[in-house]
Amino acid sequence: MKNTDLDAVLRKASVPQPPEEFWIELPQQVARQTNRSRSGRTEGVHPAHHRLTRLSWGLATAVCIVIAFSIGHWKGQKELEANSKDVLANPQFVRETLAAFPGQVRAIVEDEHGLNVVLSDTDDVPVSTPLYVRISRGKEVVAVVTFSGQEIQIAGQKMTVLSDAQGGIILMGTDFAWSSGGPAMAKNDWKITAKNLELNTM
């Protein structure tokens, strides 16, 4: 059989026809399906939908900012409250205590037990700028007002408080050192702040 003969045979063959209803129903069925897919597609690209999505993201971002601001504000308030409870931050209190025991005050300590004034047996404590040191470890907070060269004990640690010529403060312990002027070998879990308390500002 030649190719042309085969092609002629193939072309002569007809396909069976489906029921007449198929020809009537098919266009309607396709129209229904296209309507459905079009509404789905339209929903997917409608500018209003985009605007709604953008608005949702905008609102979500705004809510996140408000929450973050609230948390920051709340933490700030807590710190402020904590500071206000720190009696040693009250200049008037420090000045009056020092005035009550002239030359005798080695340190004023505020810890979980309350306030303690550490006095020398003699009035040999040199007059110098009072130094404020605050050490916190977790929830444990100890604040001290003392003078350069004094030895204090905080959280079971003995340490010497020193003030250098530039106004920096150094804490020297048996196994650590800390300086307000730069990186120091402080205990990892300790948070230390220290500053000079100027008499004229008190």
Partner 1 sequence: MVEFGNEFKGIAAFTGLMHKIARMAPADELDHIQNSLTGNAEAFATLVKENQKMVFAVAFRMTGSMADAEDLTQETFLRAYQHLESYRGRSKFSTWLCQIAVNLGINWRARENRRGDVHVRWAKDSILEPRAEFPDELSQCVQEALNKLPPKQRAAIVLTVYENQSHGEAAAILNCTEATVSWRVFTARRKLKSLLKGRVP
The dihedral sign for the CA sequence 60, 66, 68, 70: negative
Which of 47, 114 has the CB closer to partner 1?
A: 47
- Cα 7 from Cα 176, distance rounded (Å): 100
Q: Is the CB of residue 131 less than 8 Å from the CB of residue 160? A: no
Which of 23, 74 has the CB closer to partner 1?
A: 23
CB of 5 to partner 1, least distance (A): 9
23 binds partner 1 (CB under 8 A): yes
Q: Which of 22, 57, 69, 74 binds partner 1 (CB under 8 A)?
A: 22
Residue 119 amino acid letter: L
Subset of 142-161 contacting partner 1 (CB under 8 A)? none
Give every strand in the sheet of 191-196, ordered side by side: 114-119, 105-111, 140-146, 131-137, 191-196
Which of 51, 75 has the CB closer to partner 1?
A: 51
Residue 88: is it exposed, middle or buried by C-beta count within 10 angstroms (0-12/13-18/19+)?
buried
Which of 29, 84 has the CB closer to partner 1?
A: 29
Contact window for partner 1 (CB under 8 A) among 26-34, 100-108, 153-161, 174-182: 26-34
Contact window for partner 1 (CB under 8 A) among 35-43, 73-81, 97-105, 187-195: 35-43
Tokens of 36: 């459905």
DSSP state of 185: B
Subset of 37-96 contacting partner 1 (CB under 8 A)? 37-38, 42, 47
Q: Is the CB of residue 154 less than 8 Å from the CB of residue 100? A: no
Which backbone phi and psi does 155 adopt, to 5 degrees?
50, 45
CB of 17 to partner 1, least distance (A): 8
User: Where along the sequence are the contacts to partner 1 (CB under 8 A)?
Assistant: 1, 3, 6-7, 9-16, 18, 22-23, 26-35, 37-38, 42, 47
